[in-house]
C-alpha cells in the first residue's frame, strides 16, 4: 500500500511551519449489500468491501474488494472506473458519471493459472501501418481471428467451440492451405485431404492427367476376343485391367483412374456388341438366301 503524505500548513505570525503526517492505512467501507451506480460517486477514490454477487462481478468467492475512481462529477470528465478484486482474479468496469448503470465487467487477471492471459473484447496487434491482427470473441461459441490490411478487412477465420472451422475471404471466399495435410475425423492425415467417414456432395469433379481411352475405337486397336476374355475371367475372377477385390481392399481405388478403366471396358463392350450385330445381320442374310433357294 502506498503511503499517503498529508501536508498540514499553518500560517503563523512569525514564520510558516509545515507539519508532515504519514497515513498508516486506507479505510475500507463495509457496503457489502449495495451496488451503487456511477451517479453515486463524485470526484473521489473509494475502496469498499462488497458481496461479489451484489455488484455482479465474475470470479469466485462470496466477498470482494471494490476500488472506485471517480475523477469528475458529470460526463464532461468522461468515465468513472471500478476494479473488483476477488478469489477469481481482477475485473474492471466503467460508466459515465450521469449513468444509472455500469458497463459489463471485463476480466483483467485470473488466478486460474499464471501462464494464461484472459481477454474480453478485441485484441489488436499492429505489426506496421498497413497490417492489423485482431482477435475478437463476439459470442460464447465463436472465436474470430481477423486480418486487416490498409484499414480494410481482407480475411477472417473462425473457430467454433464444437470443432467447426471457417475461412472467409472477401474476394471469392477461397480457402488456401499450403504445405499441409488436412484431416477430417483423423489426427494423422497421410494425404492432402483425409476423411474418416462419409462425404456427401451435390457435385464432384476430378481433374487429373489421365488419358481418355477413345483409342479403343481406332482401327489398329487390338481388341481382346470374347473367348480370351472368358478364359481370363475363369482364371483370375475379375475383368482384365481391373484390380481385384483384394487389391482394392488393401490399396483403395483412384477414382479418376478407375473411371477411365471402366470407360474403356464400356467402349470394348460396345465393340463386342457391334461385332455381334454384324454377325447376326450376316446370319439373317444367309438364312434368307437359303429360304429363297
Q: Is the pLDDT of residue 6 over 50?
A: no
Break the chain into its structural domains and give their ranges: 5-110, 122-195, 214-292
Q: Which residue has the higher pLDDT, 118 or 239?
A: 239
What is the average pLDDT across 32-56? 95
Mean pLDDT rounded to a whole number for the chain: 80
Q: Write down the pLDDT at residue 223.
A: 92
Report the alpha-carbon distance of residue 66 to residue 82 in Å, rounded. Answer: 7
Backbone angles phi, psi at 282, to 5 degrees: -65, -40
- On whether the CB atoms of residues 288 and 280 are closer than 8 A, the answer is no
Cell of 218: 481406332
Q: Write down the pLDDT at residue 51.
A: 96
Confidence of residue 145 (pLDDT cuts 50, 70, 90): low
- On whether the CB atoms of residues 194 and 181 are closer than 8 A, the answer is yes
Q: Write down the pLDDT at residue 25.
A: 80
Q: Write down the pLDDT at residue 1.
A: 36
Q: How many CA atoms lie within 13 A of 17 on its CB side?
A: 4
- Burial class from Cβ neighbours inside 10 Å (0-12, 13-18, 19+) for residue 183 reads middle
Strand segments, DSSP code E, in the chain are 5-10, 17-22, 29-30, 44-51, 63-70, 80-86, 89-95, 106-110, 122-128, 131-136, 142-149, 152-160, 165-169, 182-184, 193-195
Backbone angles phi, psi at 271, to 5 degrees: -65, -40
- On whether the CB atoms of residues 98 and 41 are closer than 8 A, the answer is no
Report the alpha-carbon distance of residue 145 to residue 125 in Å, rounded. Answer: 11
- On whether the CB atoms of residues 242 and 257 are closer than 8 A, the answer is no
- DSSP code for 141: S
Give me the DSSP letters along 57-69: --SSSSEEEEEEE
- On whether the CB atoms of residues 145 and 125 are closer than 8 A, the answer is no
Positive/negative CA dihedral, 226, 230, 236, 238? positive
What is the average pLDDT across 180-201? 84
Least confident of 40-44, 51-55, 289-293: 289-293
Amino acid at each position: 500500500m502506498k503511503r499517503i503524505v498529508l501536508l498540514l500548513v499553518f500560517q503563523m505570525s512569525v514564520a510558516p511551519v509545515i507539519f508532515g503526517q504519514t497515513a498508516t492505512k486506507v479505510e475500507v467501507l463495509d457496503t457489502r449489500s449495495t451496488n451503487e451506480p456511477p451517479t453515486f460517486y463524485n470526484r473521489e477514490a473509494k475502496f469498499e468491501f462488497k458481496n461479489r454477487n451484489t455488484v455482479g462481478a465474475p470470479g469466485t468467492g462470496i466477498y470482494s474488494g471494490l476500488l472506485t475512481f471517480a475523477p469528475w462529477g458529470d460526463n464532461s470528465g468522461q468515465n468513472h472506473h471500478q476494479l473488483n478484486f476477488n478469489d477469481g482474479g481482477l475485473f474492471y468496469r466503467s460508466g459515465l458519471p450521469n449513468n444509472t448503470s455500469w458497463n459489463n465487467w471485463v476480466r483483467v487477471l485470473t488466478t486460474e493459472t499464471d501462464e494464461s492471459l484472459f481477454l474480453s473484447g478485441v485484441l489488436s496487434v499492429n505489426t506496421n501501418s498497413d497490417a492489423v491482427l485482431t482477435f475478437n470473441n463476439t459470442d460464447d461459441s465463436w472465436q474470430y481471428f481477423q486480418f486487416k490490411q490498409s484499414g480494410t478487412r481482407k480475411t477472417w477465420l473462425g473457430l467454433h467451440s464444437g470443432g467447426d472451422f471457417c475461412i472467409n475471404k472477401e474476394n471469392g471466399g477461397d480457402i488456401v492451405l499450403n504445405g499441409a495435410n488436412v484431416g477430417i475425423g483423423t489426427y494423422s492425415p497421410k494425404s492432402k485431404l483425409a476423411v474418416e467417414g462419409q462425404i456427401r456432395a451435390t457435385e464432384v469433379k476430378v481433374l487429373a492427367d489421365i488419358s481418355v481411352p477413345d483409342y479403343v475405337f481406332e482401327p489398329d486397336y487390338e481388341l481382346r476376343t470374347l473367348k480370351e476374355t472368358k478364359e481370363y475371367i475363369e482364371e483370375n475372377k475379375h475383368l482384365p485391367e481391373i484390380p481385384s477385390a483384394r487389391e482394392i481392399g488393401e490399396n483403395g481405388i483412384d477414382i479418376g483412374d478407375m473411371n477411365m478403366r471402366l470407360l474403356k471396358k464400356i467402349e470394348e463392350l460396345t465393340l463386342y456388341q457391334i461385332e455381334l450385330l454384324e454377325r447376326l445381320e450376316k446370319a439373317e442374310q444367309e438364312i434368307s438366301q437359303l429360304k429363297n433357294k
